Amino acid sequence: MVCNICPRNCGVQRNIKHGVCSVGESFRVARAAPHHWEEPCLSGDKGSGTVFFSGCNLGCVFCQNRDISHGAFGKDVTPDELKRIFDKLLESGVHNLNLVTPTHFVPMLARVLAEYNSPVPVIYNSSGYEKAETVKMLEGLVDIYLPDIKYFDSAPALKYSGAADYFEYASEAVLEMHRQVGEVELDENGIAKKGLIIRHMVLPGNISQAVKVFEWVKDNLPIETYISVMRQYTPFGKAKDMPPVNRKLSAREYSIVKAKILAMGFENCNFQSGEAATESFIPNFNLEGVDL
């Protein structure tokens, strides 16, 4: 298959040569385990059933999962093995199946999800850098979309992710996600059953991006749209030498962003506490749940 799944349009045969996402045609997974640090409506008390896919089509300089995204650490698994990974997660009682960084596997994943028929909600947890036409392949197969909108302007998108066209694609993809699943609906225990949750991690020295992203959300989606404003930024990798993203976000920066977002009138916002900016939020990528 010549791969043009995502906006990178590598045009490579992934079984012969890797594109920007650094993986072939087989699923590659680095970890599958309950995760307790997602939004409360996703983690609940039993955890969210995260499946971390290896490789990434975006490749941000500050990626906290860089071992698996940039390094593509993980184990190749067949579609049947992926279903067994899902089974094991469900046996642990998780509230949902949370597919993390799945963009570069969408066509293969659509086939697996159609066959699997998950009894719990399926979450598509992505960077937002994807084609709306690719997201269309998941219609009826994903219950909860959890995309980032990382940048509004081209300059930071190019500088930190090498993708000047990031917002052009992410905005169209998010509108398609909303068309499919609408706003978040919770069950009687406050756990999400369906809907769109938009994440934005506020970057130090870049709070204008947060404000512009949520202004766009306010103008293009219902005011009930669930938004998650993350303050956990910690400099990793190349970002350690790239001011202003070589430091953590200050409390003042986050409080300015929070006040501006609240003033926009959003009705469903998740804000993180100061303790969020620690490495305890970063899972250990050790093939847990993958080596069955």
Q: How far is the CB of 158 from ligand SF4 (least distance, A)?
A: 16
Long-range contacts of 272-279 (CB under 8 A, 24+ apart): 272/229, 272/230, 272/231, 272/232, 273/231, 274/231, 276/230, 276/231, 276/232, 277/231, 277/232, 277/233, 277/234, 277/248, 277/249, 278/232, 278/234, 279/234
Q: How far is the CB of 94 from ligand SF4 (least distance, A)?
A: 27
Give the footprint of ligand SF4 on this chain (CB under 6 A). Answer: 3-6, 8-10, 12, 14, 19-21, 57, 104
Q: How far is the CB of 163 from ligand SF4 (least distance, A)?
A: 11
What radius of gyration do the chain's Cα atoms show?
18
User: For residues 17 and 84, which CB has a smaller minimum distance to ligand SF4 in the complex?
Assistant: 17
User: For residues 35 and 66, which CB has a smaller minimum distance to ligand SF4 in the complex?
Assistant: 66
Q: How far is the CB of 223 from ligand SF4 (least distance, A)?
A: 33
User: For residues 57 and 180, which CB has a smaller minimum distance to ligand SF4 in the complex?
Assistant: 57
User: For residues 100 and 207, which CB has a smaller minimum distance to ligand SF4 in the complex?
Assistant: 100
**Running DSSP on this structure, what letter comes out for residue 238?**
G
Cβ atoms of 202 and 192 closer than 8 Å:
no
Residue in 96, 9, 2, 4 with CA at minimum distance from that of residue 47: 96
Q: How far is the CB of 191 from ligand SF4 (least distance, A)?
A: 31
Q: What is the largest CA-CA distance in the chain?
A: 51
Strand partners, 32: 51
Q: How far is the CB of 151 from ligand SF4 (least distance, A)?
A: 18
HEC sequence for 258-288? HHHHHHHCCCEEEECCHHHCCHHHCCCCCCC
User: For residues 34 and 162, which CB has a smaller minimum distance to ligand SF4 in the complex?
Assistant: 162
User: For residues 163 and 197, which CB has a smaller minimum distance to ligand SF4 in the complex?
Assistant: 163
